[in-house]
C-alpha cells in the first residue's frame, strides 16, 4: 500500500510526496533506487510488454494484482486506484515515435486515477527528463544514465557526448572532479530534476521544456503532438497563473493557455454595444494601458470606439481583457518581424472574431507585421479596413489622424466588468448600476454599497462575493455533501462539479447547509476521479 499527496500541479506535471510501505516519504519528481522502494520489482514477470504490442499478445500477460508499482499499458485494463504508483514499462521507446507518444499518453492518463504517481523505468536522462515530467511522469531510476556511463557517454541537458568531455571543464560536479563518469551522469540527472521541481512550483515548466527540447527533434515533435490534442491539454492547464508567460518560440502559439484565450475571446466574450472598432498594436509593458504609447492611443480615441489590440501569440486582445491572464502576463521577443506561420494564425483569429462580431467601421492604427495581419484577416472575412496611419503610430500626425477618423462618433461605456465576466464565466450579466472603486490593480465593483467583485491582482481575474455570484445564474458550481465546511473542500466531500471548471477557476461551493466561495485547486474532471487532496481552496463560508 502506498500513499500519494500531490502538492503542486503544473499541467500534467506535479510535485508530490510518495509514501511506500515502511519507507520514509519521497518528494517527487525524483530519481531513486526503485528496487529498494518496491521490492516486488524483483519478482514481477511479464511486465516489459512493448507499447506497440498487439492485443492478442497483451492479453497473455495480465498485471499481477496487489503489487506496487502497478503495470499499465495502452491496451490493458487498468487496475490502478488512487494513491497507487503505476509503471509504464518500455516508455523509453515511445520518444522514437512522437505521434504515438501522444496517443499512448492520453489513453493512459484518461483511464488512470489522477492522484497516482507515475514511474518510467529506464527512461530518464538529463536531456529528456523535463519533457517526461511535462508528460506527467514523477518517478525515475538510474538505469538509463548508468547505461550511458557503460557506453562511455557524458550526459548533459543538451545531450550526451564522448567520455573525454569529463575533463573538458563543461561540468565541475564532484563526479567530474573525481574523474567518475557514472557519478557525473547521476549528478546531472539529480540536478535537472531539482531544477524541474523549481519550475513546476513556479508554474513555468512549459517554458523550460520549450528551451530544453531544441536540441532534440523528437522532443519538439512530442510537444507539438501533445499541443494538437487541445481538448486533453486544455483540461489540465490552469486557467490563470500569477507569473510571466514567456512566449519565446513558435510552439508557444499552440500551447493550451494561448489557444484557450483565443477561443474564449471568440466564443464567450461579449463586446460593448458599439459598431466602431480600432485595431491597435501591442506594447512591451503589460497591461497595455500602463505603456506610454497606449496612453496616447486612448487619449486620441477618447472612448469613441472599441479598442482591440493585435498581438502575437494571443491574436486579439479586447481592451477589457488586458489584465486577464495571459493577456496581462505574456512576454515575447520584439523584433518587428512576423513570420508566415505567425501571420496566418493571427489573421485567422482576427477573421473569426469579426465574423462573430461585425462592426460598421474598423479603423486600423497599425504598422509592420500587425498591419499585414489585419489586411490578411480583412481579406478572409470580407471586411473593409480604414487606415488612420501606417507608420510612426505615436507621432502627432498619426494621433491627430486617429482623432479625426473618429470625429462624430459617440462615446461608449467603459465596462470592463461586463467583458471579463463574459470571458471568465461565460455569462452575459447586466452590469447597470455597478460602480468601480479603487485604482488598478486594487479594484472593487459594488452596487448600492454592496461589494460584488474584486480583481485578483496576480491573475487579473474576478473574484465574486456571494452577492456577485447571485448575478451569475449558472456554471462554475461545485456541489458538496451535506456538511458545513470548516476550511478547504476535500475530494471526498465533492458530489459533482461543473465540467467547465479548470484549475484556478473561481467557483461557488453549493451544499445543503452551506455556501462557499473560493478557487478550484484542480479541474472538475479530477475532482470527480481523485480520492485525496484539496478540491477547492475556500475563501469564505456562509451557512444557509
Count of beta carbons in the 10 Å neighbourhood of residue 457: 12
In contact, 117 and 85? CB cutoff 8 Å = yes
Q: For position 439, what pLDDT does the model report?
A: 79
Largest CA distance in the chain: 83
Is residue 322 very low, low, confident or very high in pLDDT (cuts 50, 70, 90)? very high
Spatial CA neighbour of 207 closest among 238, 249, 241, 158: 249
Buried b (16+ CB within 10 A) or exposed e, 303-342: bbbbbbbbbbbbbbbbbbbbbbbbbbbbebeeeeebeeeb
Is residue 48 very low, low, confident or very high in pLDDT (cuts 50, 70, 90)? confident
| 436 contacts: CB under 8 Å, gap ≥ 6 | 417, 443, 444, 445
Strands 26-28 and 330-331, how do they pair? Answer: unpaired
Is residue 414 very low, low, confident or very high in pLDDT (cuts 50, 70, 90)? confident
In contact, 148 and 155? CB cutoff 8 Å = yes
108: left (phi over 0), alpha (psi -120 to 50) or beta: alpha
- Checking if the pLDDT of 263 tops 90, the result is yes
Average pLDDT, the chain: 93
Q: For position 361, what pLDDT does the model report?
A: 96
Encode pLDDT of 267-321 as tens digits: 999 999 899 999 999 999 999 999 999 999 999 999 999 999 999 999 999 999 9
Q: How many CA atoms lie within 13 A of 206 on its CB side?
A: 30
> With pLDDT > 70 as the criterion, what percentage of the chain qualifies?
100
Q: For position 201, what pLDDT does the model report?
A: 95
Q: For position 136, what pLDDT does the model report?
A: 97
DSSP secondary structure string for all residues of 158-192: TEEEEGGGGGTTS--SHHHHTT-HHHHHHHHHHHH
What is the chain's length?
Answer: 544
Please state, in angstroms and rounded to a whole number, the distance separating the CA atoms of residues 525 and 493. Answer: 15
Encode pLDDT of 95-114 as tens digits: 999 999 999 999 999 999 99
The stretch 212-232 carries a mean pLDDT of 94
Spatial CA neighbour of 313 closest among 285, 348, 279, 287: 348
Please state, in angstroms and rounded to a whole number, the distance separating the CA atoms of residues 381 and 478. Answer: 40
Q: For position 236, what pLDDT does the model report?
A: 95
Phi, psi for 401 (deg, rounded to 5) = -65, -40
- Checking if the pLDDT of 241 tops 90, the result is no
* Range name among 23-37, 240-254, 408-422 with the lowest pLDDT average: 240-254
Helix (H, G, I), strand (E, B) or coil at 317: strand
The stretch 360-379 carries a mean pLDDT of 95
For residues 48 and 104, which has the higher predicted lDDT (pLDDT)?
Answer: 104
Q: How many CA atoms lie within 13 A of 514 on its CB side?
A: 18
105: left (phi over 0), alpha (psi -120 to 50) or beta: alpha
DSSP state of 319: G
Please state, in angstroms and rounded to a whole number, the distance separating the CA atoms of residues 139 and 287. Answer: 39
Q: For position 23, what pLDDT does the model report?
A: 83
Spatial CA neighbour of 541 closest among 478, 502, 487: 487
Q: How many CA atoms lie within 13 A of 339 on its CB side?
A: 7
For the chain, domains (ranges, CATH) are 3-228 (3.20.20.105), 245-405 (3.40.50.10630), 425-543 (2.30.130.10)
476: left (phi over 0), alpha (psi -120 to 50) or beta: left
* Range name among 63-67, 78-82, 133-137 with the lowest pLDDT average: 63-67
Q: In Å, what is the CA distance from 68 to each residue of 3, 43, 44, 78, 305?
A: 11, 11, 10, 13, 63
Helix (H, G, I), strand (E, B) or coil at 153: strand
Encode pLDDT of 446-475 as tens digits: 999 999 999 998 899 999 999 999 999 999
Amino acid at each position: 500500500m502506498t500513499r500519494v499527496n500531490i502538492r503542486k500541479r503544473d499541467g500534467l506535471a506535479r510535485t508530490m510526496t510518495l509514501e511506500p510501505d515502511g519507507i520514509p516519504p519521497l518528494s517527487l519528481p525524483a530519481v531513486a533506487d526503485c528496487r529498494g522502494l518496491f521490492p516486488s520489482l524483483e519478482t514481477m514477470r511479464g511486465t516489459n510488454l512493448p507499447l506497440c504490442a498487439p492485443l492478442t499478445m497483451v492479453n497473455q500477460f495480465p498485471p499481477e494484482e496487489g503489487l506496487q508499482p502497478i503495470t499499465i499499458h495502452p491496451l490493458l485494463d487498468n487496475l490502478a486506484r488512487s494513491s497507487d504508483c503505476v509503471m509504464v514499462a518500455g516508455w523509453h521507446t515511445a520518444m522514437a515515435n512522437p505521434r504515438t507518444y501522444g496517443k499512448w499518453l492520453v489513453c493512459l492518463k484518461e483511464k488512470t486515477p489522477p492522484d497516482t504517481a507515475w514511474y518510467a523505468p529506464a527512461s530518464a536522462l538529463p536531456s529528456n527528463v523535463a519533457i517526461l515530467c511535462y508528460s506527467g511522469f514523477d518517478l525515475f531510476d538510474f538505469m538509463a544514465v548508468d547505461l550511458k556511463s557503460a557506453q562511455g557517454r557524458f550526459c548533459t541537458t543538451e545531450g550526451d557526448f564522448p567520455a573525454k568531455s569529463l575533463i573538458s571543464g563543461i561540468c565541475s560536479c564532484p563526479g567530474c572532479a573525481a574523474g567518475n563518469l557514472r557519478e557525473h551522469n547521476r549528478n546531472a540527472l539529480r540536478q535537472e530534476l531539482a531544477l524541474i521541481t523549481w519550475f513546476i512550483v513556479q508554474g513555468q515548466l512549459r517554458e523550460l521544456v520549450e528551451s530544453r527540447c531544441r536540441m532534440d527533434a523528437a522532443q519538439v515533435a512530442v510537444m507539438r503532438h501533445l499541443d494538437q490534442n487541445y481538448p486533453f491539454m486544455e483540461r489540465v492547464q490552469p486557467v490563470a497563473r500569477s507569473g510571466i508567460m514567456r512566449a519565446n518560440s513558435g510552439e508557444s502559439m499552440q500551447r493550451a493557455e494561448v489557444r484557450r484565450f483565443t477561443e474564449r475571446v471568440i466564443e464567450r466574450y461579449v463586446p460593448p454595444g458599439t459598431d466602431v472598432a480600432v485595431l491597435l498594436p501591442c506594447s512591451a509593458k503589460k497591461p497595455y494601458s500602463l505603456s506610454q504609447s497606449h496612453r496616447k492611443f486612448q487619449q486620441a480615441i477618447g472612448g469613441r470606439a472599441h479598442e482591440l489590440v493585435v498581438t502575437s501569440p494571443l491574436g486579439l486582445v479586447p481592451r477589457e481583457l488586458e489584465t486577464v491572464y495571459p493577456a496581462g502576463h505574456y512576454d515575447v521577443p520584439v523584433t518587428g518581424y512576423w513570420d508566415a506561420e505567425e501571420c496566418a494564425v493571427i489573421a485567422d483569429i482576427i477573421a473569426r472574431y469579426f465574423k462573430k462580431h461585425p462592426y460598421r467601421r474598423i479603423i486600423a492604427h497599425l504598422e509592420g507585421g500587425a498591419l499585414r495581419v489585419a489586411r490578411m484577416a480583412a481579406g478572409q472575412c470580407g471586411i473593409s479596413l480604414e487606415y488612420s496611419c501606417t507608420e510612426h503610430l505615436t507621432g502627432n500626425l498619426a494621433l491627430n489622424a486617429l482623432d479625426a477618423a473618429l470625429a462624430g462618433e459617440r462615446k461608449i461605456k467603459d465596462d470592463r466588468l461586463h467583458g471579463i465576466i463574459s470571458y471568465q464565466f461565460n455569462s452575459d450579466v447586466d452590469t447597470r448600476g455597478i460602480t468601480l472603486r479603487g485604482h488598478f490593480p486594487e479594484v472593487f465593483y459594488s452596487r448600492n454599497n454592496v461589494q460584488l467583485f474584486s480583481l485578483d491582482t496576480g491573475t487579473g481575474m474576478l473574484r465574486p462575493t456571494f452577492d456577485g455570484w447571485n448575478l451569475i445564474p449558472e456554471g462554475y458550481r461545485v456541489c458538496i455533501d451535506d456538511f458545513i465546511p470548516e476550511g478547504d473542500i476535500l475530494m471526498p466531500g465533492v458530489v459533482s462539479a461543473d465540467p467547465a471548471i479548470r484549475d484556478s477557476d473561481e467557483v461557488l461551493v453549493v451544499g445543503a447547509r452551506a455556501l462557499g466561495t473560493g478557487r478550484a485547486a484542480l479541474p472538475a474532471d479530477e475532482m470527480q476521479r481523485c480520492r485525496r487532496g484539496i478540491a477547492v481552496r475556500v475563501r469564505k463560508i456562509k451557512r444557509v
